[in-house]
Amino acid sequence: MHIPDGFLATPVWAALDIAAAPAVGYMARRAQRGFDDAKAPLLGVMGAFVFAAQMINFPVGVGASDHLVGGALLAYTLGPAAASVTMTAILAIQALVFQDGGILALGANTVNMAILGVLAGYLPFYLWGQGRGRKAAIFAGGALSALVCAVMAVSELLLSGVRVSMSILSVSAAVFLVSAILEGAITLAVIEALENIQPGFVKKPGEGRSFALGAAALAALVLSTVGVLFASTAPDGLAWLSEKAGVSSRAKSLVATPLADYQAQFLPAGWHAKALAGLAGLAAVYAACIAIGRLVARKRSA
């Protein structure tokens, strides 16, 4: 779901870069409400968990794969404003450190996943997530979040002049629909698991979360080290679409990094190279989210 540099026309990525900055700034100000320094570890752990989950691709048919986006999951556990800021930090680290998503296209990816994807994921939960339809709302939010991200990414490619036949668009729509269903199911499963460990995990943000946060942190470690052994190597839905549209060769990297493609480039290719990159990413995301949480709390206190 990450758009690389080279796919979007300059007016498209430039406009989205300009739009993303004030949108994230507004979300950061909104996140200050009801936030305190004690909640900073919550941002760090959940941000690290979503980062690790995004490393694990699963097959969705026709030679394509996908991964958890995590916008709805973050919205349920952090609130939509803090979730947007956390997702933005994840996307920035992925682009700058792992060459996953473009630097010039960072605004597009931020608008798609950190702003619209998070808000879309939270909407069903906000509307009917407190009653008997709570599980359905959680599932629907995860699915809607993934669909909005996909629709936005494809729309931006089309606006950039990428020509895609109706047959390819139809197959892509089916792939994204399967991905959305899996996103909803995984989101619901994770929330249910965390609330079984720590009842009231979603209802009482930042209160009594030691066991649930510990479980999420452990899961992030397992996903980033052991999980990569089982991850699908097929291209994700957007990469598959770009291959079929004949534009995959346009992808370019503006910087060279030692952890590109989630591999420690200074080590021989293999599990240990992936695991080391994953652990480095967990540490970077956790530290960034902790710092953001403390900065938000400090500004609120001031």
pLDDT tens column, 64-88: 999 999 999 999 999 999 999 999 9
61 within a domain of the structure (yes/no): yes
pLDDT for res 300: 64
Q: Is the pLDDT of residue 39 over 80?
A: no
Q: Has residue 3 been placed in a domain? A: no
User: What domain range is 162 assigned to?
Assistant: 10-301
Question: Has residue 249 been placed in a domain?
Answer: yes
pLDDT in tens, 94-131: 999 999 999 999 999 999 999 999 999 999 999 998 88
Tell me what pLDDT residue 204 has: 59
45 pLDDT above the threshold of 60: yes
List all residues 6 or more positions away from 149 whose beta carbon is below 8 Å from its beta carbon. Answer: 1, 69, 71, 112, 113, 116, 117
Q: Is residue 2 part of a domain?
A: no
| Sign of the torsion formed by the C-alpha atoms of 222, 72, 288 and 298 | negative
pLDDT at residue 49 above 70? yes
pLDDT digits (tens, 9 = 90+) for 169-192: 999 999 999 999 999 999 999 999
Q: Which has more confidence, 152 or 300?
A: 152
Residue 241 within any structural domain of the chain: yes
**Domain count across the chain:** 1
HSE-up of residue 79 (Cα within 13 Å, Cβ side):
18
What value does the mean pLDDT take over residues 212-233? 93
The answer to whether residue 255 sits within a structural domain is: yes
pLDDT of residue 104: 97
pLDDT of 293 above 90: no
Q: State the pLDDT at residue 43.
A: 92
Q: Which two tokens stand for residue 128?
A: 């009917």
Sign of the Cα torsion 228, 232, 235, 241 reads negative
pTM: 0.95
Q: Would you say residue 290 lies in a domain?
A: yes
Domain CATH number, residue 121: 1.10.1760.20
CA angle 200, 201, 207 (to 5 degrees): 90
Any domain includes 279: yes
